[in-house]
Amino acid sequence: MTQRLLRTLMRPSLKDLAKTALLSGLALGLAFTAAPTHEAEAKDKFIFANSSAYNTMDPQALFDVGRVAYRLNLYDGLMRWLDNPPKLNLWLAESHKISSDGKKYTFKLKDAKFHDGSPVEAKDVVYSTERILALKKGAASLFVKVLKPGTTKAVDPKTVEFNLVKPSAIFLATIPEIHIMNSDLMKKHEKGGDWSSAWVSKNDAGSGSFKLKRYDPAKGFLAERFTDHFYGWGDKYLDEIEFRTVVEINSRVLGMMKGDFHGADGYMPQDQIKRLRTSKNVNVMEQESMRIFYFIIHNARAPMNDIHFRKALSYAFDYDGFIKNILSNSVARNPVPLPNNIWGAPSGVKGYTFDLKKAAEHLAKVKKPIREITIGALAGYGQTEQAAVLLQNALAKLGVKSKIVAETWPVASGKMRNEQQMYDLLPLWKSTYYADPNNWVGEMYYSPNVGSRNNSWYKDAQVDKWIAEAIETTDRKVREANYAKAATKVMDDAAGIFVYNTKWFGPYSKKVDGVRFSPIGNAQEMRWVYFK
């Protein structure tokens, strides 16, 4: 009896199961066919595929190349770097004056509006400056030594005055990194002395060409054109820009080829660039950038503190093999700690070549036994690993043992500051934060910067003198000569292994035009771009 009951109970359910399956299958099928095909290209929306995630929308929290897009497009500075070779242009400022002692900088502001309609005034510049000095993040390190809190003054609503502690030849070059924020709006969202950090990390307090519309740190950000931008608009522009985080190189490449993305980062491996060139949707723009690749050598630790060992290292790297074979000649050999194309770079310098005989000669002069050398590498950056392996290979031929330690950038950047933890060697890039030779040789080999920007522990009194002089004087000729001399000496001292200067290969959709490349900004400023 129970079995018959169960049978009657079960049988309908089985039929029902079949029926539901069939129906849902039909429904699903209909849904699929009825759904419109996905058009990723809107005529007026530009989608850029970025390799890093945008963790914050606060322009003063970060200062790196990978996440520059929101700072460039949502915010303005008093001046702006444009084009290649980079030129410093007036931006929010319509004029500037420097006092004769080089300590007072006065800027007059143009008529500009913030995204919420309120005018950009001197008090906003003062607020932004005080904020970056107080938060000590991002680009603050560029200013803390020259500006003291409370010394920046709003002379009148349109005039702002910076009072430097001492004259600085690079102050003007770094001014674009103070992004002007809407002080009234910011103060409304201030919470517990955080300078509104919590609010502005997700919101927009800028005056830039585009206004933030949507932001999701896992996805990216979307911005729409700010019609009231002070610079004005011609008749060709983008209505919306979207910067999306796409971590995998292959995904970016495929998306470009399919036409899903209109732009992507310009420092991809050459193999992928070749692939992009074959696509009928993609136009690969090529420009010489200012981004050198080199090995940091720990100059203060044995045996690297012996110049002969360092010279041996410099002769032990297969520059040609690396540049020609691994990088398919997509970069230019750059033997000094300054990009070849910046003023102040010494000309006609030959630099070291791959010569194991010469390396052995120098090695013979080094005290034996030589311990195992630790070569660092950046996890996830295949090039650094390949460079490390090449060096290891050559060292092995010379009888020097080495091991490669690949760690992530957060780990490596922490170790770089500590004399004991820093690796013996670390291959790395140095990008353009501001277009001045000080950005490279001045930061990297100046002894007061040891532990922060000087991760080589290189200390040379002569080089220090040249650089100190070049930082203070505004005489271009003196500066040019000094940086050239400093760079040549650093190379002669083999304080690092200087390999190449990057070329930028920017993939952009064939449908767009107007892309302007500058080594700072890397062609991610969208206000010039439009669909043809």
Question: Which helix (H) or strand (E) segment is 276 a member of?
Answer: helix 270-277
Among 105, 322, 466, 483, binds other proteins (CB under 8 A): 322
Structure tokens at 161: 């005055």
318 binds other proteins (CB under 8 A): yes
Task: Identify whether the C-beta of residue 343 lies closer than 8 Å to the C-beta of residue 520.
Answer: no
Interaction pattern, residues 57-86, with other proteins; x per rule: CB under 8 A: -x--xxxx----------------------
Query: Could you give the CA distance from residue 465 to residue 259 in angstroms, rounded to a whole number?
Result: 53
SS3 annotation, 392-423: HHHHHHCCCCEEEEEECHHHHHHHCCCCCCCC
CA of residue 347 relative to chain centroid, distance = 27
42 binds other proteins (CB under 8 A): no
248 binds other proteins (CB under 8 A): yes
Nearest-CA neighbor of 344 among 473, 454, 462, 487? 487
- CB closer to other proteins, 213 vs 465: 213
Instruction: In angstroms, give the least distance from the CB of 59 to other proteins.
Output: 13
| Region near other proteins per CB under 8 A, out of 146-154, 225-233, 267-275, 476-484 | 267-275
Among 184, 407, 472, 513, binds other proteins (CB under 8 A): 407
Q: What is the full DSSP assignment across 347-376?
A: SS-------HHHHHHHHHTSPSPP-PEEEE
103 binds other proteins (CB under 8 A): no
Cα–Cα separations (whole angstroms), residue 318 to 269, 299, 312, 325: 19, 21, 12, 10
- CB closer to other proteins, 428 vs 515: 428
Instruction: In angstroms, give the least distance from the CB of 208 to other proteins.
Output: 21
Instruction: In angstroms, give the least distance from the CB of 446 to other proteins.
Output: 12
Question: Which helix (H) or strand (E) segment is 476 a member of?
Answer: helix 476-492
Count, residues near other proteins per rule CB under 8 A: 86
Identify the burial level of 358 via C-beta atoms within 10 angstroms of its C-beta, where 0-12 means exposed, 13-18 middle and 19 or more buried. middle
Phi, psi of 229 (to 5 degrees): -60, 140
Task: Identify whether the C-beta of residue 307 lies closer than 8 Å to the C-beta of residue 315.
Answer: no
Instruction: In angstroms, give the least distance from the CB of 512 to other proteins.
Output: 19
275 binds other proteins (CB under 8 A): yes
379 binds other proteins (CB under 8 A): yes
- CB closer to other proteins, 109 vs 425: 425
Whether residue 157 has a cis bond before it, omega within 30° of 0: no
319 binds other proteins (CB under 8 A): no
Interaction pattern, residues 189-228, with other proteins; x per rule: CB under 8 A: --------x---xx-----------x-xxxx--x------
Cα–Cα separations (whole angstroms), residue 324 to 261, 271, 391, 395: 30, 13, 16, 20
Nearest-CA neighbor of 41 among 236, 239, 225? 239
Among 50, 56, 129, 524, binds other proteins (CB under 8 A): 56
- CB closer to other proteins, 136 vs 236: 136
Q: Are strands 263-264 and 45-50 parallel, antiparallel or unpaired?
A: parallel
453 binds other proteins (CB under 8 A): yes
Q: Which residues have CB under 8 Å from 32's CB, separation 6+? A: none
Q: What's the N-to-C CA distance of the chain in angstroms?
A: 79
Instruction: In angstroms, give the least distance from the CB of 9 to other proteins.
Output: 10
410-439 binders of other proteins (CB under 8 A): 410-411, 413-415, 417, 421, 433
19-38 binders of other proteins (CB under 8 A): 31-32, 34-36, 38
Interaction pattern, residues 132-161, with other proteins; x per rule: CB under 8 A: ----xxxxxxx-x-----------------
Instruction: In angstroms, give the least distance from the CB of 283 to other proteins.
Output: 21
462 binds other proteins (CB under 8 A): no
Instruction: In angstroms, give the least distance from the CB of 484 to other proteins.
Output: 23
Cα–Cα separations (whole angstroms), residue 500 to 186, 434, 483: 43, 19, 18
- CB closer to other proteins, 403 vs 476: 403
Phi, psi of 294 (to 5 degrees): -155, 170
| Region near other proteins per CB under 8 A, out of 240-248, 335-343, 346-354, 467-475 | 240-248
Instruction: In angstroms, give the least distance from the CB of 417 to other proteins.
Output: 6
406 binds other proteins (CB under 8 A): yes
- CB closer to other proteins, 32 vs 232: 32
461 binds other proteins (CB under 8 A): no
- CB closer to other proteins, 181 vs 377: 377
Nearest-CA neighbor of 151 among 141, 160, 142, 162? 162
Task: Identify whether the C-beta of residue 128 lies closer than 8 Å to the C-beta of residue 183.
Answer: yes
45 binds other proteins (CB under 8 A): no
Please identify which residue in the block is written with the tokens 């439009």: 530
117 binds other proteins (CB under 8 A): no
Among 329, 452, 465, 476, binds other proteins (CB under 8 A): 452
Q: Work out the number of other CB atoms within 10 angstroms of the CB of residue 13.
A: 9
230 binds other proteins (CB under 8 A): no
Instruction: In angstroms, give the least distance from the CB of 146 to other proteins.
Output: 13
460 binds other proteins (CB under 8 A): no
166 binds other proteins (CB under 8 A): no
